[in-house]
Amino acid sequence: MPVFEVLTGSALGSLLGMRHALEPDHLTAVSTLMTSAPGERSRVRAAMLGASWGVGHTLSLLVSGVVLIVLRAEMPARIADLFELFVAIMLVGLGVRAIVLAVRQGPVGPAHTHNHGPIVHSHPGATPHVHVGRWTLARRPLLVGAVHGLAGSGALTALVLATLTSTAARITYMTLFGFGSTVGMAALSGLLGWPLAKMGSNRSLARAMSVTVGCVSIALGIFWGYPLTSRLLSN
């Protein structure tokens, strides 16, 4: 196994993964989740939400990428376009959800009742997570990240197949790429959580921000999805 190639690929994968987290569709998706979930308007919780996005992104990226690497195959263009269309549809859905929640929220947000084992309690805001024992998994950002990971797996696999010669180096690169994405999104979400927490005390401003981010998400989804839909229907 070429150690130098693995080390070089690992370092490059981590850096590119962190840059990858800054792409517009990723930022829009996570921002929409944060502004539409009042409980996530703090630095720590926002960072955990971003990390959950990164975990979902990494898992789907690795599963699909490893399959393609082992088969030494590239993802068919039509399937890649279909995954990208899923991202566009998801952005529109997240935007609509953010706007609807902002309109429905009262002075403290909608009340939600859920269970923590045998304990039942109620608190403001729609639930963004499920509880598994003592661990909390952010279900929605995990799923959103997984869809993004599927959409990007084809291009990333084609890149590593073309530039790296060993299977170990390719898988290591993709793993570290996913790790970098997770760290980058967690750090960025944590930074965004601070101003969102400050705005959260002003319900009118927080709701206006949710509507604005929702509109941006819908616009980006339509802009992203229209050419994909045309291409898929024409084939």
Per-domain residue ranges of the chain: 3-108+127-234
pLDDT for 157 equals 77
- Rounded mean pLDDT of 144-149? 86
pLDDT for 92 equals 93
Higher pLDDT: 73 or 41? It is 73
Neighbours of 17 (CB within 10 A): 27
- Per-residue pLDDT at 161 exceeds 50: yes
pLDDT for 180 equals 82
- Judged on CB neighbours under 10 Å (0-12, 13-18, 19+), 33 is buried
Provide the 3-class DSSP secondary structure of residue 125.
Answer: coil
- Rounded mean pLDDT of 201-230? 85
Closest Cα partner for 184 from 21, 46, 61, 25? Answer: 21
Per-residue pLDDT band for 4 (boundaries 50, 70, 90) equals very low
- Per-residue pLDDT at 152 exceeds 50: yes
Where do we find the tokens 């949710």? 210
Q: What is the pTM of this model?
A: 0.76
Where do we find the tokens 């969102």? 196
H-assigned helices in the chain? 3-20, 24-35, 43-71, 77-104, 139-163, 167-200, 203-234
Which residues fall within 8 angstroms of residue 139, CB to CB, at 6 or more apart? Answer: 128, 129, 130
- Rounded mean pLDDT of 178-183? 82
